[in-house]
Amino acid sequence: MRNGLIGLLLLLLWGCAGGTPSPAPVVEAAAPTPSAAELRASAALLPGVEIDPGEGLTLRYPGERLFSAGAALPLAGGVEMLEPLADWLAASGRVRWRGTVRAATDVSPEYDRQLAQARAELLGRYFTNRGIDREKLELTAEGGTGAPFELELRE
């Protein structure tokens, strides 16, 4: 009988040693990627943005909506435009964007390029801090005329 109790005790310990099975990890489904038409409709609600009516999807912040002429830092109201844009980019699923940051002054083409680069670095840090992956938003800088900040949907 003693051997039976010891055997039963060992069987109980062996059964308890496995513990309860851990629950399967919860995998959240990726958000569906919105169509270009859905993105166009939702982008129309962003403050300060102009949407190119042509093929594809291009968003522009023209003139001095984000940046004062000759300045690398956004205007006082520029951040209020960038916050909804960052939220919108984060909510746009796995869509990838190409951003172009420009600067045009009367100083020199080299100064324009450096100013555009400073703006691009600042915007890159801002969007990274807001959780936008650099693979999702690729920023380039160029001196010359055009919208100071432009986003183009990458196919």
Residue with tokens 């830092």: 73
Domains: count for the chain: 1
Question: Would you state the pLDDT for residue 33?
Answer: 78
Please tell me the predicted confidence (pLDDT) of residue 94.
Answer: 87
State the pLDDT at residue 98.
96
Q: Domain for residue 128, yes or no?
A: yes
CATH of the domain at 113: 3.30.1330.60
Question: Residue 10 domain-assigned?
Answer: no
pTM (two decimals): 0.75
Give the phi and the psi of residue 50 in degrees, each rounded to 5: -115, 135
Residue 146 belongs to some domain of the structure: yes
At 27 the pLDDT is 47
Q: Are 148 and 61 in contact (CB under 8 A)?
A: yes
Residue 143, domain member (yes or no): yes
**pLDDT tens track, the chain, 155 positions:** 555 545 544 444 445 555 555 555 554 455 577 888 889 999 999 999 999 998 889 999 998 888 988 889 988 888 899 999 999 999 988 899 999 999 999 899 999 999 999 999 999 999 999 999 888 999 999 999 999 999 999 86
Residue 1 lies in a domain: no
Between the alpha carbon of residue 14 and those of residues 8, 10, 11, 100, 139, the distances in Å are 10, 6, 5, 64, 59
151/97 Cα distance (integer angstroms) = 6
> 43 with 59: CB under 8 angstroms?
yes
Of residues 27, 29, 28, 57, the one with CA closest to residue 150 = 57
Task: Domain of residue 93: give its range.
Answer: 44-153
